[in-house]
């Protein structure tokens, strides 16, 4: 009887669109179509969010159902921002719609809030003991991976006649920057602040290179998994640290209340506020971008143990809500306000394909060699400190770890994508100023 009831319930549920029935989704879809054809989209936050949620849901569901695109190109988020940029390019959005979404992203600073929430939850999600015990060997492993990526990228530049300056600014830093929301986007803002050039142009090129590199990272991860089987002395079969080194402990799960989530948000905003203060008022730190200072402060909060576990996990839950439920909204905004589709198409060239591959290989080899020297397994350090730096961030981590069959390394992948990405923001804020000069 229960089996029949379950089967009946399943049939009733049908296909879900953003977790709702198609019939229910028709309500917001029709509403947005009505204001589109009458050019009467409400201004402000409400209009921007409903428009972006509906558009993002349509193309997000398509992106999540395209097998090859989903597995190798990036799925829903990539398709959404490409579709949004295409609609802008074709003139299919009204001027009012473009203005409402652009104001939401730039004037209302939704992008800034999204980045703060993402960085706070991700950094607090890294186990404090893991952070303190492994950081001595792991951070240098990440750095050597970045050096390897830089060397190979510059060599690729020599082959195709691209200067080291352009390779570092347009190829290496976006690839190794920790993904999109916490990588390419803040990098574009750092670039604009340092050089005075358009962050939109930089972002369009950076996200194209990053997308190419992410595909290569997934392929290389699968190859490393096979190499680990062939040369077991270099593989921990999912364990990063060689026997006799670090023992890792997981954080206990505690009860998290909505108030803990709110406090977690407050802590993240506090770090951003302090980072802004330091950037504006402390001369020696004025050259370091506010996002990078925010990362350093969040790492310090976590490492010093001053944030209760319930609040850290509350920040993680809030981050999970933003990353899972509002990323499609963000990607519509990125496509409308920040993406030049022509720049992306122009970036897909044989030179970029080869240079991106060389950068990924450089990161892999550099992280593998250094990891072996500090007591890690070479395969695992190549995957976590190398490929999880050279991918698209959180979703890229899942793809890389899935391809290498090492999902249990997600904590180290988080260190790479978030702390490593934070390190890249710090490096970028310095390099952009030097190279711009």
**Inter-residue contact 16 to 9 (CB < 8 Å):** no
**Inter-residue contact 364 to 387 (CB < 8 Å):** yes
Stretch 275-283: mean pLDDT: 93
Quick one: DSSP state of residue 162? -
Measured between alpha carbons, how far is residue 74 from residues 53, 318, 333, 392 in Å?
A: 19, 23, 17, 8
> DSSP E strands: which ranges in 116-203?
none
Q: Name the more confident of 145 and 399.
A: 145
Question: Which of the four pLDDT bands, split at 50, 70 and 90, describes residue 190?
Answer: confident
What are the beta bridge partners of residue 20?
Answer: 17
Please write the tens of the pLDDT for every residue from 336-390.
987 777 766 777 889 999 999 999 999 999 999 999 998 889 999 999 999 999 9
**Count of residues making up the chain:** 437
Q: Which two tokens stand for residue 77?
A: 């988020």
Q: Which of 19-23, 236-240, 268-272, 324-328 has the lowest mean pLDDT?
A: 236-240
Dist. CA 20–CA 354, nearest whole Å? 42
What are the beta bridge partners of residue 299?
Answer: none
Dist. CA 155–CA 168, nearest whole Å? 11
Q: Which residues of 389-419 are buried (b: 16+ CB within 10 A; e: fewer)?
A: bbbbbbbbbbbbbebbebeebbbbbbbbbbb
pLDDT exceeds cutoff 60 at 9: no
pLDDT exceeds cutoff 60 at 246: no
Question: Which of the four pLDDT bands, split at 50, 70 and 90, describes residue 247?
Answer: low
Stretch 299-327: mean pLDDT: 90
Please write the tens of the pLDDT for every residue from 107-161.
888 988 988 888 888 788 777 766 666 667 888 999 999 999 999 999 999 999 9
pLDDT of residue 355: 96
Among candidate residues 370, 379, 420, 419, the one with its CA nearest the CA of residue 400: 379
Question: Which of the four pLDDT bands, split at 50, 70 and 90, describes residue 42?
Answer: very high
Q: Which residues of 216-225 are buried (b: 16+ CB within 10 A; e: fewer)?
A: bbbbbbeebb
Of the CA atoms within 13 Å of residue 422, those in its CB half-sphere come to 24
pLDDT exceeds cutoff 50 at 240: yes
pLDDT exceeds cutoff 60 at 248: no
Where is 20: in which H helix or E strand? strand 20-21
pLDDT of residue 7: 46
pLDDT of residue 1: 45
Supply the Cα-derived Rg of the chain in whole angstroms.
22
pLDDT exceeds cutoff 60 at 20: yes
pLDDT of residue 131: 64
Dist. CA 77–CA 62, nearest whole Å? 11
What are the beta bridge partners of residue 220?
Answer: none
Question: Which of the four pLDDT bands, split at 50, 70 and 90, describes residue 8?
Answer: very low
Please write the tens of the pLDDT for every residue from 317-346.
998 898 889 989 988 998 898 777 776 677
Question: Which of the four pLDDT bands, split at 50, 70 and 90, describes residue 421?
Answer: confident
pLDDT of residue 236: 87
Alpha helices (H) along 1-42: 2-13, 22-37
Mean pLDDT of the chain: 86
What are the beta bridge partners of residue 376?
Answer: 241
Quick one: DSSP state of residue 196? -
Please tell me which of 33-42, 135-144, 285-294, 373-382 the model is most confident about, judged by mean pLDDT: 33-42
Q: Name the more confident of 98 and 291.
A: 98
pLDDT of residue 98: 97
Question: Which of the four pLDDT bands, split at 50, 70 and 90, describes residue 13?
Answer: low
Stretch 240-259: mean pLDDT: 71
pLDDT exceeds cutoff 80 at 46: yes
Measured between alpha carbons, how far is residue 343 from residues 94, 131, 195 in Å?
A: 22, 39, 19
pLDDT of residue 387: 93
pLDDT exceeds cutoff 80 at 255: yes
Contacts of residue 167, Cβ cutoff 8 Å, sequence gap at least 6: 150, 153, 154, 156, 157, 355
Quick one: DSSP state of residue 182? I
Please tell me which of 179-188, 232-241, 373-382 the model is most confident about, judged by mean pLDDT: 373-382
Dist. CA 188–CA 195, nearest whole Å? 10
Please write the tens of the pLDDT for every residue from 69-84.
776 666 788 789 889 9
Question: Which of the four pLDDT bands, split at 50, 70 and 90, describes residue 250?
Answer: low
Measured between alpha carbons, how far is residue 117 from residues 186, 221, 296, 316 in Å?
A: 13, 29, 15, 9
Quick one: DSSP state of residue 16? E
């Amino acid at each position: 009887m229960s089996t029949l009831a379950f089967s009946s319930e399943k049939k009733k549920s049908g296909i879900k669109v953003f977790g709702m029935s198609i019939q229910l989704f028709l309500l917001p879809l029709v509403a947005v179509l009505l204001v589109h054809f009458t050019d009467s989209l409400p201004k402000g936050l409400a209009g921007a969010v409903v428009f972006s949620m509906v558009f993002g849901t349509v193309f997000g569901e398509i992106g999540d159902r395209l097998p090859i695109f989903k597995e190798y190109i990036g799925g829903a988020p990539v398709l959404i921002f490409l579709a949004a940029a295409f609609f802008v390019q074709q003139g299919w959005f009204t001027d009012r719609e473009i203005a409402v979404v652009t104001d939401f992203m730039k004037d209302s600073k939704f992008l800034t809030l999204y980045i703060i929430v993402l960085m706070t939850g991700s950094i607090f999600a890294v186990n404090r003991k893991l952070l303190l015990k492994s950081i001595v060997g792991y951070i240098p492993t990440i750095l050597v991976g970045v050096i390897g990526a830089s060397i190979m990228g510059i060599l690729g530049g020599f082959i195709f006649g691209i200067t080291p300056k352009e390779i570092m600014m347009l190829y290496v830093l976006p690839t190794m920057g920790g993904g999109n929301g916490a990588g390419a986007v803040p990098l574009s803002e750092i670039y604009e602040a340092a050089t005075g050039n358009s962050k939109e142009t930089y972002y369009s090129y950076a996200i194209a290179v990053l997308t190419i590199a992410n595909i290569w990272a997934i392929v290389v991860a699968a190859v490393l998994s096979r190499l680990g089987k062939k040369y077991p002395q270099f593989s921990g079969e999912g364990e990063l640290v060689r026997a006799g080194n670090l023992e890792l402990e997981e954080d206990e799960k505690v009860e998290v209340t909505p108030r803990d989530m709110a406090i977690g948000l407050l802590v993240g905003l506090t770090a951003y506020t302090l980072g802004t203060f330091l950037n504006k008022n402390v001369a020696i730190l004025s050259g370091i971008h506010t996002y990078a200072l925010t990362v350093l402060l969040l790492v310090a909060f976590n490492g010093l143990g001053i944030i209760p576990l319930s609040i850290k996990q509350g920040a993680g839950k809030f981050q999970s809500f933003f990353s899972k439920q509002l990323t499609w909204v963000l990607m519509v905004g990125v496509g409308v306000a920040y993406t030049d589709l022509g720049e992306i198409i122009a970036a897909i060239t044989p030179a970029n394909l080869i240079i991106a591959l060389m950068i990924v290989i450089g990161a892999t080899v550099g992280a593998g060699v250094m990891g072996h020297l500090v007591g890690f397994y070479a395969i695992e350090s190549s995957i976590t400190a190398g490929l999880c730096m050279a991918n698209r961030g959180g979703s890229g981590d899942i793809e890389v770890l899935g391809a290498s069959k090492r999902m249990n390394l997600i904590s180290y992948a988080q260190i790479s994508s978030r702390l490593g990405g934070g390190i890249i923001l710090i490096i970028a804020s310095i390099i952009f100023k030097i190279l711009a000069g």
